[in-house]
Amino acid sequence: MARRRLHTGCNALLALIAATALSRADTPPQDDRAGHDYPTAARVEYVQECMLRNGGELSYLYKCSCAIDRIANGLTYDDFVEWGTFARNASLAGERGGVFRDSDQARENAKQYRALEAEAYKTCGLQVRD
């Protein structure tokens, strides 16, 4: 009887250890995470846009994923959104575009974003955009 309780207790302990290990298996330790924590939807959106810019072929999935990972290593998510907005909208004509191109900070942020993105593209085997 005591042997049976010991065996049941060991099984329960092993099950608890396994459940704990499985629950943590997909979450790397905080110090081992590469880059800043971007929302998954933002990463997916970037990869989809990158793939479209490069012809929409599935082969660009890995290259574009590499690029957003590289960018995430260099920028916080908030800076990624702000700097990317400046870079994408700097060519808007008229007053609407002035906010994105007329201030020194806007020009500098757009320039830094483009440089970081170009380096990510180059490192990941993508054609650098003009």
Residues 61-71: tens digit of each pLDDT: 999 999 999 99
How much is the pTM? 0.67
Count of all residues that appear for the chain in the document? 130
Sign of CA dihedral 17, 18, 24, 29: positive
Q: What is the pLDDT of residues 3-44, one digit of tens each?
A: 555 455 545 544 444 444 434 433 444 444 456 789 999 999
Alpha-carbon torsion (32, 37, 41, 47), positive or negative: negative
Distance between the two ends of the chain, CA-based, in angstroms? 77
pLDDT category at 1 given cuts 50, 70, 90 is low
Average pLDDT of the residues in 83-100 = 75
The DSSP call for residue 83 is H
What average pLDDT does the segment 90-119 reach? 80
- Stretch (H or E) spanning 116: helix 104-123
Q: How confident is the model at residue 130 (pLDDT cuts 50, 70, 90)?
A: low
